[in-house]
Amino acid sequence: MAASLNLVPSQHLTLTPQMRQTLQVLQLSTLELSQKISDALEDNPLLEICESSEETFENNASEGDQELYWNAEGDDPEEWETPAEKTLSSHLLEQAGCLPLSEKDSGLLRWLIGCLDNDGFLPESLEEIAQSAPFQEEADPEDWRIALSLLQSFDPPGIGAKDVSDSLLLQLKHLLNRKLLAPELAKLTEETLRDHLTLVAKHRYDELKNKLGCSSEEIKSVLEVIGRLTPRPAAEFSADKINFVIPEVAVTKIQGRWTVRLISRSGSKIRLNDSYAQAVVQSKDKETMQLWKG
């Protein structure tokens, strides 16, 4: 068979390294792009951040148009500063520092504060806590009970309880002591929390009414009181951090039509360092120039 040469037309796309890099960058989210820029700044001394005084989103919409992002123009940046985070321990120690306590009582109270869990509970018994304290020989059980009673009188209400049920009862007592609750309603609520909390959780209110021997209106009032209580007394001091979402696009309604545009200020802008760039251009040593170019 004789050999022959045939030409077959075909199309193919060749991507240069620069084009590949561009496609990779375009696929990154704002957070991923910021991290990539930070890595590049650490690895390459020729790069630097472009300082920009722009602090607000560009707003091209006409007057009366609706924007679906917050425009911070005109606000004082000092108002955005978040206060120092206040922990549960610091909040309780601040209250303990306002009391005229002896050194021993202050030590017992501080030790109990250190034994609280993240929800504000004391899961261990006073006997177990006393045995783990370094000054256990200096305090008797009555001293520990007084210190615990003092801790449970602190804000937030319900702190220092053994469990959720105990915490709810402490909060109820707090409302009663502050005369924010009628004694008759407090008694019904206390009985509900002690003996019939399961019925409340299962919404078996008719059975609860028969157990308490009260009217439907009284049951409604009891449920309202329970709704004011919190099962986790230290919830407001939770250490969970809020992850804020950084917008990448702005949706604008202009003359009845919605349009989408990219927010260009997201992420940092980088450029070549002028000093290093001039040094490369003016360098006469070929090896040094090749090194900097690399």
Residue spans per domain, the chain: 34-52+63-69+249-294, 87-155, 162-246
Does the structure show a pLDDT above 70 at 229?
Answer: yes
The tokens describing 236, both together, are 């407001």
Q: What average pLDDT does this structure show over 210-235?
A: 88
Confidence of residue 121 (pLDDT cuts 50, 70, 90): very high
Q: What average pLDDT does this structure show over 256-283?
A: 69
Cβ-in-10-Å burial (0-12, 13-18, 19+) of 244 comes to: exposed
Element spanning 227, H or E: helix 216-227
The tokens describing 224, both together, are 């309202």
The CA distance from 142 to 132, in Å, is 17
Q: What average pLDDT does this structure show over 105-110?
A: 90
Q: What average pLDDT does this structure show over 162-180?
A: 89
Q: Which SS3 state, helix, strand or coil, does residue 198 take?
A: helix
Q: What average pLDDT does this structure show over 57-61?
A: 43
The pLDDT mean for the chain works out to: 77
